[in-house]
Amino acid sequence: MNLELTDEQVALRDTVRQFLAEKATVAAHVRPMLDDPRGTTDEVWRGLADLGATGVLVPLEHDGAGMTMVEAGVVAEELGAALYPGPWWSSAVAATRALVRTGANAGLLAGIADGTVIATVGGLTGPRPTDDGASLRGDLTAVPDAAAATVLLILADGPDGTALYSVDPASDRVAVTRREHVDPTHKSFDIALNGAPAQRLADASDHVVDAIFDDVIIARAADAVGAAGAVMKLAVDYAKVRRQFGQPIGSFQAVQHLCVDMYEAVELARSGVIHALWAADAAESTERHLAALRAKAFAGRLAGVGDTAIQVFGGIGFTWEHDAHLYLKRLLGWSALFGAADRYLDEVGAQLVGELDRKVLQ
């Protein structure tokens, strides 16, 4: 595992960063999209596709970039830093990994790579296949980016086990309702399936489902590192120029401590996320899962970076016109994703204790 980016990864990072700075700034793109259920414009989505960002994880044989989760993490970190509100995470990571890990395709991967298909993955339980196996009935909660999706990929439990199905969200048997939550830059929806026509794509074993879940957590952790790093930089830059009592507030030890605390949290999280991104492709399942758990267990520390940044900004950080509160909400959304960090901390602790017990018994 390499903790430093290669030249190719640096080039990918710089290309995505430049595109977002030119075409998807917070003022010109993110804020206008806060109330838009799709979260992106066709122009920006097409631009990301042209860069290869939507197909970063799509295999070469399906016209994708054929890269690894490490490269996907590079893109995710830049999108988090820019507060990008579109469906990249759902389509380029969750849906792509679900298709690749289950061995399904149905012609979707090439479309995801070129941006003509936007897919999202629905919940692991709830919907059930009807008796004929050709439709799904049930409810799903907190499905990301469903309004932007052209395809819903749903992991549904049936009599033969869990399988991956595709559903057309435009069907009159599908009802999509926006779900309000703390982070307006990530769109979430509840979906009701009333006998919606569905195509069974592939079996999805428990092992595969766990791997997809880990992939999603790891990619969102990279997004959160990007957001935390960006708001930290904003706060540090502000501390250098904001003057009080005739000197920059960054010269005060109390403010310096706040900045150091933010830096420590971001860099510790970044190293853990880099390991998790590597583990998603290269490690055996136990190490991958533990790396994902650690990333999620650390979520509260990253949310704390947003809170600390607002302390540095003072009252201005609470105003709607300032971007700091959007970063805080992005980080709070990550902290709340799939449940609070406490249960992940418990699971990490249980895993470590179990590993120690096994070593003692050996």
Domain holding 66: CATH number?
A: 1.10.540.10
Q: 349 falls in which pLDDT band (50, 70, 90)?
A: confident
Q: Would you say residue 93 has pLDDT above 60?
A: yes
Domain stops at, among 204, 223, 258: 204
Predicted local distance difference test score (pLDDT) of residue 131: 62
Predicted local distance difference test score (pLDDT) of residue 362: 66
Per the CB < 8 A criterion, the answer to whether 16 and 53 are in contact is yes
The predicted model gives 211-216 an average pLDDT of: 96
- Based on the domain organization, do 222 and 259 belong to the same domain? yes
Domain holding 344: CATH number?
A: 1.20.140.10
The predicted model gives 236-249 an average pLDDT of: 89
Strand partners, 165: 154, 200
And the tokens for 353?
């204790």
The average confidence (pLDDT) of the chain is 92
Residue 153: phi and psi, rounded to 5, are: -105, 120
Predicted local distance difference test score (pLDDT) of residue 125: 56
| Nearest of 215, 211, 265, 262 to residue 236 by alpha carbon | 262
CA atoms within 13 A on the CB side of 177: 9
Per the CB < 8 A criterion, the answer to whether 69 and 275 are in contact is no
- Based on the domain organization, do 273 and 289 belong to the same domain? yes
Predicted local distance difference test score (pLDDT) of residue 306: 94
Q: 83 falls in which pLDDT band (50, 70, 90)?
A: very high
- Based on the domain organization, do 126 and 103 belong to the same domain? no
- Based on the domain organization, do 357 and 211 belong to the same domain? yes
- Based on the domain organization, do 69 and 186 belong to the same domain? no
- Based on the domain organization, do 100 and 23 belong to the same domain? yes
Whether residue 215 is contained in a domain is answered as yes
Whether residue 161 is contained in a domain is answered as yes
Q: Would you say residue 358 has pLDDT above 80?
A: no
| Nearest of 268, 162, 146, 169 to residue 212 by alpha carbon | 162
| Nearest of 98, 290, 110 to residue 209 by alpha carbon | 98
The predicted model gives 326-340 an average pLDDT of: 92
Predicted local distance difference test score (pLDDT) of residue 126: 59
Q: Which amino acid is at 41?
A: T
Residue 104: phi and psi, rounded to 5, are: -90, 165
Whether residue 301 is contained in a domain is answered as yes
Q: Residue 214's Cα: distance from chain center in Å?
A: 11
Q: 127 falls in which pLDDT band (50, 70, 90)?
A: low
Whether residue 2 is contained in a domain is answered as no
Q: 1 falls in which pLDDT band (50, 70, 90)?
A: low
Sign (positive or negative) of CA dihedral 140, 186, 121, 40: positive
Helix ranges (H only) for 283-362 are 285-297, 299-313, 324-336, 341-361
- Based on the domain organization, do 251 and 350 belong to the same domain? yes
Predicted local distance difference test score (pLDDT) of residue 342: 82
- Based on the domain organization, do 241 and 153 belong to the same domain? no
Predicted TM-score (pTM) above 0.95: no
Predicted local distance difference test score (pLDDT) of residue 133: 66
Predicted local distance difference test score (pLDDT) of residue 339: 86
Predicted local distance difference test score (pLDDT) of residue 333: 95
Which comes out higher in pLDDT, residue 321 or 191? 191
* Among 208-212, 298-302, 325-329, the least confident range: 298-302
- Based on the domain organization, do 274 and 314 belong to the same domain? yes
Q: 217 falls in which pLDDT band (50, 70, 90)?
A: very high
Per the CB < 8 A criterion, the answer to whether 23 and 29 are in contact is yes
Cα–Cα dist 293/120, whole Å: 22
- Based on the domain organization, do 132 and 57 belong to the same domain? no
43: buried, middle or exposed (CB in 10 Å: 19+, 13-18, 0-12)? Answer: exposed
The predicted model gives 178-194 an average pLDDT of: 94
Domain holding 133: CATH number?
A: 2.40.110.10
Domain stops at, among 114, 147, 171: 114
Where b means 16+ CB within 10 Å and e means fewer, 206-242 reads eebbbbbbbbbbbbbbbbbbbbbbbbbebbbebbeee
Number of domains in the chain: 3
- Based on the domain organization, do 172 and 96 belong to the same domain? no
| Nearest of 85, 24, 16, 98 to residue 57 by alpha carbon | 98
Which comes out higher in pLDDT, residue 107 or 34? 34
Which residue range(s) make up the domain with 40? 7-114
The predicted model gives 230-257 an average pLDDT of: 91
Q: 123 falls in which pLDDT band (50, 70, 90)?
A: confident
Whether residue 328 is contained in a domain is answered as yes
- Based on the domain organization, do 184 and 306 belong to the same domain? no
Q: Would you say residue 40 has pLDDT above 70?
A: yes
Domain stops at, among 114, 144, 175: 114
Q: What is the largest CA-CA distance in the chain?
A: 76
